[in-house]
Amino acid sequence: MCGIAGTYLWPDGKTVTDRLTETLAHRGPDGAGRYGHPVGDGEVQLGHRRLSIIDLSETGAQPMAKDSLVLTYNGELYNAPELRAELEAAGVRFRGTSDTEVLLEAWRRWGTDCLPRLRGMFAFGVFDERTGELVLVRDQLGIKPLFLLRRDGGLAFASELKALAAATGGKLEVDHAALVASLLYYWVPDSRCAFREAEKLPPGSWLRIRPDGQVQRGRFWNLKDVAAEGQARARAGERPDLAAIVEESTRKHLLADVPVATFLSGGLDSSWLTALAARHQPGISAYTIGFRAEDARFEAMPDDLRYARQVAERFGVELHEIEIAPNVLDLLPQMTYSLDEPIGDPAAINTFLICQAAREAGVKVMLSGMGADELFAGYRKHLANLLALRYQRVPGPVRRGVSGVVDRLPVATSRRGLRSVRFAKRFLSFADLPEETAFRRSYTMYDQDELLALVDPDLAGTVDDVLTEHADAYEDNTLDDFVNRMCLADARMFLPGLNLTYTDRSSMAASTEVRVPYVDVEVVKAAFAVPGDRKIVKRQGKAVLKEAATSILPREIVYRPKGLFSAPLRAWMSRDLAPLVREVVNDGELVRSGFLRRDALNRMVAVDAAGQQDFSKHLWHVLTLEYWYRDATSRSDQSTRQTA
């Protein structure tokens, strides 16, 4: 795992690439390298920051140049041993044992045809000295990031957006449409970027730029096609052996020359991975989190620690418990900077603190259970949307009566949050809506009218565009299975846009690599070969995965109530962050610029304080957006003053 950067036909490319690479130092504290070569009337410059995981010697250093090909690469190839054996049988001679060299030689032999064969997480740039062409590639599911910027026939790229912002002297213009999208989702979708000129290379795609500045794009993997193929396999009667597939993926994800540990929340996904990891690597350690007792009580959070302890004891795992009682006033701006774009999920803080503790203990690699919920319908929203179909058959007068009663209920008392009431209010906000709209409303922050009331009236057209984009993405499939349509939308939007993004940035801010065995191409293929009625059975989400996990886990763990990898936001907002909320709502940069409307924010604060609605998540995201906006605009202002 590393940080990569580079320029192609870019003015002062060497200096700019050095600046890009230095900004990414946290991603690779173990080494740095740069390569340059003339291209036409300009040059290519490739930079690299190394976090040494496999082949810790200099033979694994990057950028790696070998026989006219040069590679700068971020990621891990879990099928590198198999590819290496095939290449060696074809006569390839290797200098070291790194997967970097395997990737370089696979590219030499097969070119873009090697890409569907890669099993792992990766973003890389490969330069051919003979043709002068640079190709950029991003993995099938968007686990690893790659940002790029094109100007006047040239190109700059980096693992993080902040690097491109730094390399251009802060002269990037904020894209207000991306900020509107971030308000809706509480993250910026992978299809958009917070700065106008920049873009994200889409998952499963490549980009080739030639010495004449011409650009060609291609796709080597499309999740929509994988889902359609899975549906056909299911209709043919295929039943994937999920227990074997998940175990094989976990085993491959343990490949490393440094210590590996796991996240262990005590829930199904992390518990299964930890148990499998302990089977193949006895004595492995795990990290779990808890919260201050008063915060957990106020939030009505389940006691996950006891389940984590039970799993650790059963499988001989050394468990490290971390109490999350952060100084959020200090961490908020730090995390906003680390996350690159405005992301309002407080789970990013949990990830950072766990990875920081692991790194201090000498652990560089962590396994996470992320992805299982998206692929196997494990979120409450999946079940809730199914229940909504039944709820719509209830007579209208009864539904209106239920809504009236629930609307009057408080979501919290002075000492305790009322979780069931929060869920009920959330459910009724979308239960009567059509499929795509209901699904969007079940996990986004605002409905259309609320979003229009919150932002500058001139952005009404932008709001329409953002909502249309969701509808287009949701409906772009040939599936006739409602549950798998939701899973496909999550795997294409929610997973790369939020969960994989905050995991990458938070972990790399602590110079730690997080691997996600459920987000593996073979697991994904198997997931979409499972019909929706086997994913949600009665009121049990992830039913097929739970059935598979019982081969190793006790039923108490498999069928325990679902926990949340989140944070006690209501407690934080009502105590630690209350003064900051008042400041941002009344005199923040977003309000003063006109992007957010003060009256709408004040109404939100008042309703939340009265306990009638839970707007803690909304207000937390406003804080993250405010800090991000301040940083982005201050860089631009400084640049303007310097060039004036």
Q: What is the CATH number of the domain that holds 322?
A: 3.40.50.620
Annotated binding site: 99, 289, 368-369
- Please report whether residue 334 resides in a domain: yes
User: Quick one: pLDDT at residue 327?
Assistant: 78
In a domain, 401, yes or no: no
Supply the pLDDT for residue 420. Answer: 76
**Are 38 and 167 within one domain?**
yes
Interior CA angle at 125 toward 121 and 127, to 5°?
A: 145
pLDDT surpasses 80 at 304? no
Confidence of residue 289 (pLDDT cuts 50, 70, 90): confident
Residue 439, token pair as written in the block: 């699904």
| 243 is a domain residue | yes
Give tens-digit pLDDT for 155-202: 999 999 999 998 888 789 999 999 999 999 999 999 999 999 999 999
For residues 235 and 210, state if they share a domain: no
In a domain, 418, yes or no: no
Q: Mean pLDDT of all residues in the chain?
A: 92
Per-residue pLDDT reduced to its tens digit, 68-91? 999 999 999 999 999 999 999 999
48 in a domain, yes or no?
yes
Residue among 28, 32, 23, 29 at smallest CA distance from 3? 28
Domain of 53: which CATH number?
3.60.20.10
C-alpha count within 13 angstroms, C-beta hemisphere, residue 213? 9
Q: Of 382, 385, 364, give the one whose Cα is nearest residue 373.
A: 382
- Kindly state whether residues 271 and 293 are assigned to the same domain: yes
Question: Looking at the structure, do residues 216 and 228 belong to the same domain, yes or no?
Answer: no
Domain check: are 217 and 230 in the same one?
A: no
Q: Report which of residues 411 and 313 the model is more confident about.
A: 313
- What are the tokens at 187? 């993250």
Is 255 within a domain? Answer: yes
Residues with a catalytic annotation lie at 2
What is the residue range of 98's domain? Answer: 2-221
Binding residues for L-glutamine: 99
Task: Answer yes or no: is 391 within a domain.
Answer: no
Asked if 530 and 606 sit in the same domain, the reply is no
**Same domain for 185 and 65?**
yes
Based on the domain organization, do 123 and 89 belong to the same domain?
Answer: yes
55 in a domain, yes or no? yes
* One domain, residues 93 and 54: yes
**Domain tally for the chain?**
3
Q: Can you say which residues are annotated as belonging to the binding site for ATP?
A: 289, 368-369
Q: For the packed helices 380-391 and 482-489, what is the interaxial angle rounded to 10 degrees?
A: 140
Please, what's the b/e burial string for 118-133 (b: 16 or more CB within 10 A of its CB; e: otherwise)? bbbbbbbbbbbeeebb
